[in-house]
Amino acid sequence: MRKLPKPSNKTPKFSPKFSLFTLLVLLSVAALTVFVWLSDGLTPRDSVAGGADPALRQYIIQYSR
C-alpha cells in the first residue's frame, strides 16, 4: 500500500519584514495626507491653494458640473 504524502503545514503568509514595511508605507502615506490637509487648512481662504488663477478655478468649477 502506498504512503500518502504528508499534508504540509506551510501556509502562505507574509513575512514579518514585509508586513513591517507595508505598515511603514501606510503610516508615511497617512502622515503625508494629514500634513497636506493641515497645510491646506492653514492657507488663507481668499487665496487659492496652489497659487492658481481664481478665474481659472471658477471656470473649472463652472464647467465640471
Residue 51 within a domain: yes
Is 12 part of a structural domain of the chain?
no
Range of the domain at 25: 20-64
Kindly give the confidence (pLDDT) of every residue in the chain, 65 residues in length, as a single tens digit, with 9 standing for 90 and above.
667 667 666 666 656 667 888 899 999 999 998 888 877 666 555 555 555 677 777 777 888 76
Cα–Cα distance, 41 to 51 (Å, whole number): 14
pTM: 0.39
Take residue 55 and report the three cell numbers written for it: 478665474
Q: What is d(CA 49, CA 26) in angstroms, rounded to the nearest whole number?
A: 25
Tell me which DSSP letter residue 50 carries: T
Task: Output the pLDDT for position 29.
Answer: 95
| pLDDT at residue number 55 | 76
11 domain residue, yes or no: no
